[in-house]
Structure 1
């Protein structure tokens, strides 16, 4: 078996990882892919078809470059069952809090909570694409990614337009106590997810990707809590609109990356 290492400068998030996985899908000579997002490197274990693998990576226009190819005695790769189970747990928690935050966000009239709920949904969609499409055809993966991306993009754009409408018009002050309490619960859930993911000590790409997502969620949760405190102290709904707008932009960017997977 051969081991080829690629440097991919523009591979800086899980979306690019999924893009590469889908591009290389169907090359039977590939036995395993190891992603190192922090160092922008991809290690491919394969038996043949190096030229096809390299060309496929170059076609993505992510700045890919082959660093080295060498023989490898490695024949067994990390067991995926426990990782998959853990990812399902994280997906379930994210989706559950999407429902909780969207409901209480609408009740409390907090755009920060609504935006954070869509960020939770975005994470669920990315996890779901990877898990749902396992073993499926490339066409199925692309269709799933495209549907998820357009759904997320539509919700995020509607949410951003609502932020603009509320900014222009006079709206009732959001319920800051609900904002803070629900966000603290969401923060607690994400900290638990992050702990479970870090406890796995996995170097596999999809686990590392999950850690990145969850770490970002923790930061966003903290931002919504801060916005709730500012609403309480200032007696103004502006902090809620600001954090809502910021998170909606993040969600829109995530949707665009998901849509890349459907091309």
Structure 2
């Protein structure tokens, strides 16, 4: 029996090491892409790139929280997922504000810069998606990170579509509409994560003892 328990503990520790290694890799990739996309989006006046860069920043924060949650209790993992969902909620609202600002003050973005960064971000997020897919059936916190990665890939494809439409039409509105669509996708994912994680984070409700008769 003791040998069995030791074997199970060894497997758990090995899995946790693998999860930590994977999360450090995707965290570094997302942090690097945040800086690259944010600077490019600002210089190219692209709402879609700015939105995607903020998404990268939020994901890096999410992966950092996930690293902390590895090996913790189910309730603490659920609380980490709540934080993940809350970060995505704030991100979606920030993107909506950026779309509104660019609609008033922005100019037509540069489609070539959008295309180059969109392709690079898609490659990075594809790597992250593949790495995270192995653990998507695990605890709620890792499922939340996998959802983040999936949304990132959809956002990258949308940036590339927007770049093509901006170059074809000469209008900034495809860029802004993609930013708006990304905000909606992120907000919906945040709500889904929070709905699943909040009941677990609160823990089991204690039933008051029956009164003596």
After TM superposition, the score normalised by the length of structure 1 is 0.58
Is residue 179 of structure 2 the alignment partner of residue 248 of structure 1?
A: no
Question: Cα distance, 1:134 vs. partner?
Answer: 4.2
Answer whether contact 1:186 1:221 (CA < 8 A) is retained: yes
Is residue 174 of structure 2 the alignment partner of residue 239 of structure 1?
A: yes
Aligned to 1:173: 108
Aligned to 1:130: 66
Answer whether contact 2:62 2:84 (CA < 8 A) is retained: no
Within 2, Cα distance between the matches of 1:246 and 1:202?
25
Question: Cα distance, 1:186 vs. partner?
Answer: 0.5
Within 1, Cα distance between the matches of 2:170 and 2:137?
46
Within 1, Cα distance between the matches of 2:80 and 2:26?
23
Within 1, Cα distance between the matches of 2:39 and 2:161?
20
Within 2, Cα distance between the matches of 1:144 and 1:223?
26
C-alpha deviations, 1:13-48, integer Å up to 9, x for none?
A: xxxxxxxxxxxxxxxxxxxxxxxxxxxxxxxxxxxx
Answer whether contact 1:101 1:182 (CA < 8 A) is retained: yes
Within 2, Cα distance between the matches of 1:179 and 1:114?
10
Within 1, Cα distance between the matches of 2:189 and 2:50?
16
Change (3 A) 1:177 1:248: same
Question: Cα distance, 1:142 vs. partner?
Answer: 4.6
The structure where strand makes up a greater share of residues is 1
Change (3 A) 1:222 1:207: same
Answer whether contact 2:51 2:182 (CA < 8 A) is retained: yes
Query: Which of 15, 31, 44 is 1:95 aligned to?
Result: 31
3-state SS of the aligned residue for 2:171? coil
Answer whether contact 2:45 2:109 (CA < 8 A) is retained: yes
Aligned to 1:217: 152
Within 1, Cα distance between the matches of 2:106 and 2:71?
49
Structure 2 unaligned residues grouped into runs of 5+: 203-213
Within 1, Cα distance between the matches of 2:19 and 2:76?
25
Higher RCO, 1 or 2 (CA under 8 Å, sep at least 6)? Answer: 2
Is residue 77 of structure 2 the alignment partner of residue 162 of structure 1?
A: no
Answer whether contact 1:197 1:211 (CA < 8 A) is retained: yes
Question: Cα distance, 1:124 vs. partner?
Answer: 2.5
Deviates more, 1:223-232 or 1:156-165: 156-165
Say how many residue pairs are matched: 188
Change (3 A) 1:141 1:213: closer
Change (3 A) 1:170 1:100: closer
Within 2, Cα distance between the matches of 1:222 and 1:83?
27
Within 2, Cα distance between the matches of 1:156 and 1:202?
23
The structure where helix makes up a greater share of residues is 2
Question: Cα distance, 1:173 vs. partner?
Answer: 0.5
Structure 1 unaligned residues grouped into runs of 5+: 1-72
RMSD: 3.6
